[in-house]
Amino acid sequence: MRQIILILLLAFISFTSYSQKNEYVFMVLVNNDVNLHLNRFIATFNDGTEREYAIDYLFGRLKINNDDIKELSSDSIAKIRLEVHYYDCKIGNRILVIDDFNINWLTSNTYFILHIYDLKIRKYRKLYYPEKNKDFTYKYIWGRNNYIEKKYLRKKRKDKRCKRKVSN
């Protein structure tokens, strides 16, 4: 009886530990908020055809099928787009599409953090330059020392207001 229970327990553990999906530490922040939805990557192949790849995303965790990872990291893909759906109470529903998504983080197996700033919000419009033909900007961090930050920060202006001179 013990042997049967032990065999069933080992079979259950091996069955539940085997997964057809790879899991990554993956975080996306839009305007420093985590209330968003990711559901797909869209890959454009070298011959011009496109294919969608379904993903499961919960904040801090991304699951992708093993076969999809192999295809996404292959040389036959020209570019990858990521669609980010989020809701802002002032703007409403928004879909932000990152056209030149970097897929190198898939092979590093560490972590990936994507910061997106919507420039329809005044606070961010004053701080950042937009992406080409977009109304948002982004930066991302992956791996150990891989940090991509485009030249998107605006220069801080010097305060030209009159300063009170202190008399002795």
Query: What gap in Å lies between CA 109 and CA 151, rounded to an integer?
Result: 27
Query: 3-state class of 1 per DSSP?
Result: coil
66 has a pLDDT exceeding 50: yes
Task: Give the dihedral sign, CA 142/143/148/154.
Answer: positive
* 45, 54, 102 from 73: Cα distances, Å: 12, 15, 10
Query: What gap in Å lies between CA 5 and CA 108, rounded to an integer?
Result: 39
Q: How high is the pLDDT of residue 159?
A: 47
60 and 49 in contact (C-beta within 8 Å)?
no
Could you tell me the pLDDT band of residue 35, with boundaries at 50, 70 and 90? confident
129 and 151 in contact (C-beta within 8 Å)?
yes
Q: How high is the pLDDT of residue 123?
A: 86
For residue 100, with 0-12 CB atoms within 10 Å meaning exposed, 13-18 middle and 19 or more buried, which class applies?
exposed
Query: Mean pLDDT across the chain, nearest whole number?
Result: 76
pTM (predicted TM-score): 0.69
Q: Kindly state the tokens that stand for 70.
A: 């192999």
Give me the mean pLDDT over the 45-71 stretch: 86
